[in-house]
Amino acid sequence: MINPSIVTADDHPLLLKGLNDLLVEKGYNLIGSGVDGREAYNLIVQKKPDIAILDIQMPFMSGLEIAKQCSTKQLNTRIVLITLHKEPELYQKAKELHIFGYILKEFALEEIETCIQNVKEGKPFFSAKIKESIGEQVNDAAWISLTPSEKKIINLISQGKTNKEIASDLFISYRTVEKHRSNIISKLNLESKTNSLLIWAKENQDKFM
């Protein structure tokens, strides 16, 4: 994906023009642009761009609804959402839909090139600005969703204990610990890597105090 094909959509004409002008100026392959969600989705279906940069809230279809439809139809377009909103719920929903990019409008023009570079390499780009803004709220909401047993286990994980040691400490089976770990990873929306939960636990040890 040397110079990815891109479509854009936003129901604010000036913001859309600013984004399109920047993409053209930087030499990106802009192949279409829409002013609402329906136009955006039709462009994606017809032109099958590599990347679609969409406003998260538009008439007829939101950026999230478009992403969901693309997933259902198994379209390969990588979705980047641009938003004014900082609600943790929208951020979490975007991650659940495997959105490739998520940036705030106020920083879009300065972050869009970095975002596109990451996305074309297959790496999701979630703006540090949005993470700073809602990261703590997301973590707190996720922490609250854990059961008392799951909190005990993640506390022991933060201490560097193995599944076998946790099973022994809590008088439960090794398989039960594994199941709890899997549930915790899912609730915290972490990647299923060996050390992702340990890293999260270490970074959030203040919650166990």
Q: What is the pLDDT of residues 77-117, one digit of tens each?
A: 999 999 887 777 777 778 778 888 888 888 887 888 999 99
Q: Which burial class, exposed, middle or buried, applies to 47 when counting CB atoms under 10 A from its CB (0-12, 13-18, 19+)?
A: middle
User: Looking at residues 55-79, what average pLDDT do you find?
Assistant: 92
Per-residue pLDDT at 193: 65
pLDDT for 1: 64
Mean predicted confidence (pLDDT) in 13-42 = 94
Around Cβ 125, how many Cβ atoms within 10 Å? Answer: 20
Query: Which 3 state secondary structure label does DSSP give 123?
Result: coil
Q: How far apart are CA 57 and CA 5, in angstroms?
A: 22
Query: Is the separation of the CB atoms in 80 and 103 below 8 Å?
Result: yes
Choices 2.60.40.1530, 3.40.50.300, 3.40.50.2300, 3.50.50.60: CATH for 5-133:
3.40.50.2300
Average pLDDT over residues 115-126: 88
Domain ranges of the chain: 5-133, 146-208
How many CB atoms lie under 10 A from the CB of residue 183?
15
Q: How far apart are the first and last CA of the chain?
A: 47
Q: Which CATH entry fits the domain spanning 146-208: 3.30.70.20, 1.10.10.60, 1.10.357.10, 1.10.10.10?
A: 1.10.10.10
